[in-house]
Amino acid sequence: MKSRYTNRIMLLLLLSFSVSQAEAVSGEEVAVKLTLSQAIETALANNLGIQLSRQDLDVARGSSEAAEGPFDSYLSAGAAYGETRLTPTMQGAAFDEQSSSWNASLSKRLTTGTELGLSWSNGYNDNNSDYSLINPLYTSGMDLKITQPLLQGRGSEVQTAGIRSAEKKVEAAIFLVHREAAELTSQVRKAYWELVSSWQDIEVLELSLTLARQLEDETRSKIDTGLLADIEIYQPQSEVARREQNLIGGERAVGVAEDILRYLLNNQEWERPLDPVDRPEVTEQAPQLDTVLERALANRPDIRAADMETEAAVISSTSLKNRILPSLDLFGSMGLVGNETSYGNAVDRLTNESDTRWQVGVSFSKPLGNSGAKGQYRQAKANANRAKIQAELLRQQTRSMARQAVRDIKLSVKAIEATRKTSLSSQKRLEAEQTKFDLGRATTYDVLVAQEAFSKAVADEYRAKILYAQSLAELDRIQGIVTMEYDVTQVSESLM
């Protein structure tokens, strides 16, 4: 008798999950069979949150490119023409004058702070003054100017601070995309296992309902043969109704779990069921806390991003500290000029017998009080200290979460073993109660209680394995592991 009933329970346990899924997807829509790796891959490709992170990376790259702007070469050019008519105020003065100019210049700032400027200027003047020695007058000149900061803005470290800070922020943005990918992977894994858990609950609820219906049939058979009173049928009947209600609640939980996973996958087929085909695998080897901490502190993307943000803030702070200094610049210029009655002769004179001009000097300026620069430096210094503290807080949180995750995994392994034993003992108890019921030494209530205990034990065993898989997902999240190939650089470049 025991052997026959044991085989019946095991057969029901094996078939109920596939039967329940077949009933759930028997409508018009065909279920999507989905592996865990497919779910992760789909989420990484389609999730809107990670797409936003990629856009943040492009924004950071744009800021880095813009930071190089001050060191671009600038070319400018212009031309003008004018005419003046005046009432003469003295004998021989000009009262009719025409003039024009056309100029071009090229300027460049070096990373040392040195500014170079090369300009070419041309002019034309024609008037009716008796005092003009050359009329019309064509002028062509070329000037070279150099300015070198001696205090504020001096040196490559200060000049390139914006570039270096922006590059650090690009690195931080890359790590944050990796962080988003790791977070998303963990969320998808947890949601996937939650959906598996919901389907396993359906399996257990189907099993429980089937056992209750069998007991109802057996009770009715005993009533028909006169072994039980008619009133005994009401208890299994009410239990069948209650378990049917529980099954409806389980189906509702499957729908909720599906919607959560669809949201992470950015799947718009809301009416099409998801059929998770993977099941959690349990290994006896528990992770070592020292190894987990070493990996997490060295590789976790948000910690590395925080370090990059700290370096960027320190660079900005150093640059703003330099702005407190007064401006003291050394400058010099040298030029050649040619004046003639025709433009061609003026250009020829510029290159052969030109006039010369030069100038050297020093310029000094300093705001009285300099509140603006001091206030900006104070803010930058505080931001740098804030970034350091935030990075250290992340490390503290990581140590705490790693310990918790490792502990959860170890406890989950113990829980799986405990629930396996409970499930087995509950099955044996159910077999015993069923045997006693068949012999007339147990009531329907005794069998129903044993059925409920067995169903709960099976559900607890399933749930323990799910919690183990979800704890592994959390552990990988803490370590910043994506669990599959993910090239953030290539994905970002594809958006440009």
- Cross-sheet strand order for the sheet of 74-85: 74-85, 96-109, 115-127, 137-149, 327-340, 355-365
Q: Is 230 exposed, middle or buried (0-12, 13-18, 19+ CB in 10 A)?
A: exposed
Matching residue, tokens 């990059």 = 308
CA pseudo-torsion sign 450, 427, 419, 11 = negative
Over the Cα atoms of the chain, what is R_g?
41
Give the pLDDT of residue 86: 72
Judge whether 289 and 401 are in contact, CB under 8 Å.
Answer: no
CA distance 346 to 139: 6
Smallest CA-to-CA distance from 399 within 298, 306, 283 is with 298
pLDDT score, position 31:
82
Residue 24 is predicted with a pLDDT of 46
* Maximum pairwise Cα distance, the chain: 147
CA dihedral angle for residue 366, residue 371, residue 373, residue 375, rounded to 10 degrees: 170
CA distance 357 to 339: 13
User: Which domains are assigned to the chain?
Assistant: 2-64+163-311+382-493 (1.20.1600.10), 68-109+114-152+327-365 (no CATH)
Inter-residue contact 196 to 39 (CB < 8 Å): no
Measured between its terminal Cα atoms, the distance across the chain in Å is 72
Given a contact cutoff of 8 angstroms between Cβ atoms, the answer to whether 312 and 168 are in contact is: yes
Cα separation, 255 vs 153, in Å, equals: 63
Residues, the chain: 496
> What is the residue-level pLDDT of the chain in tens, covering all 496 positions?
445 555 555 545 544 544 444 454 444 568 889 999 999 999 999 999 888 988 999 999 999 999 999 999 999 999 999 988 777 666 656 567 889 999 999 999 999 999 999 999 999 988 877 667 788 899 999 999 999 999 999 999 999 999 999 999 999 999 999 999 999 999 999 999 999 999 999 999 999 999 999 999 999 999 999 888 899 899 999 999 999 999 999 999 999 999 999 999 998 888 889 999 999 998 867 789 999 999 999 889 999 999 999 999 999 999 999 999 999 999 999 999 988 888 888 888 888 888 899 999 999 999 888 899 999 999 999 999 999 999 999 999 999 999 999 999 999 999 999 999 999 999 999 999 999 999 989 999 999 999 999 999 999 999 999 999 999 999 999 998 886 544 444 434 433 3
